[in-house]
């Protein structure tokens, strides 16, 4: 990422900005400086949205302790975090109470935290414990579909300034 940003800064003709953006997005969640990576992507503004949305994958629903958070899980979490940074909002999906009942009390809380009644975030995270929870497949799909509609709508105005970025990116508690 740093090489790509340096190339942009000095105006290297062989490195195209979209290639650097694609590289930066592909690297999300793979390093220890993910918040800085998200800020670098936010500088691209709305141009980053379609590339980020194409990176989203539906993951197996359930609880992901730190030892189960492989690169695909971390990448998906940080792609959602970058999307939250750019849009300033979460994209929820419907969820039935019986589906949420399959999760632990913590999982239910973090998936439903700040979500409208009957909906859930595609994933929730308990930052202080390093725990992640991915919502039922239909909920994740509906969230991704909402992001696709938003991207196609042209409503994006650029990145949104977060009040407390390091938690807001991952938790999605944008209204709290």
Kindly report, residue by residue over 83-97, the tens digit of the pLDDT.
988 888 889 999 999
Element (H, E) at 6: helix 2-10
pLDDT band at 127 (very low <50, low <70, confident <90, very high): confident
* pLDDT value of position 50: 95
Residues 5/22, Cβ–Cβ less than 8 Å: no
For residue 56, what are its two tokens? 């989203």
* pLDDT value of position 7: 47
Please provide residue 77's backbone torsions phi and psi, each rounded to the nearest 5 degrees: -60, -45
Q: Which of 7-16, 40-49, 56-65 has the lowest mean pLDDT?
A: 7-16
**Domain range annotation of the chain:** 2-171
Say yes or no to pLDDT of 113 above 50.
yes
* Average pLDDT along the chain: 85
* pLDDT value of position 169: 64
Say yes or no to pLDDT of 101 above 50.
yes
- CA–CA dist 174, 54 (Å, integer): 23
Bridge-based pairing state of the strands 123-126 and 131-134? antiparallel
The model's pTM: 0.84
Burial 123-132 (b: 16+ CB within 10 A, else e): bbbbeeeebb
């Amino acid at each position: 990422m740093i090489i790509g940003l340096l190339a942009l800064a000095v105006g290297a003709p062989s490195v195209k900005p979209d290639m650097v953006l694609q590289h930066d997005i592909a690297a999300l969640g793979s390093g220890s400086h993910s918040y800085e990576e998200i800020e670098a992507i936010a500088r691209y503004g709305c141009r980053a949205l379609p590339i980020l949305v194409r990176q989203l994958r539906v993951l197996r629903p359930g609880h992901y302790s730190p030892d189960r958070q492989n690169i695909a899980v971390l990448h998906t979490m940080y792609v959602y975090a970058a999307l939250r940074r750019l849009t300033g909002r979460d994209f929820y999906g419907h969820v039935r109470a019986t589906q949420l009942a399959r999760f632990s009390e913590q999982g239910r809380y973090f998936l439903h935290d700040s979500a409208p009644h009957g909906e859930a975030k595609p994933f929730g995270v308990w930052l202080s414990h390093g725990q992640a929870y991915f919502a039922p497949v239909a909920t994740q799909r509906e969230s991704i579909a909402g992001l696709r509609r938003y991207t196609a709508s042209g409503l994006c105005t650029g990145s949104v300034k977060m009040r407390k970025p390091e938690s807001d990116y991952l938790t999605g508690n944008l209204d709290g």
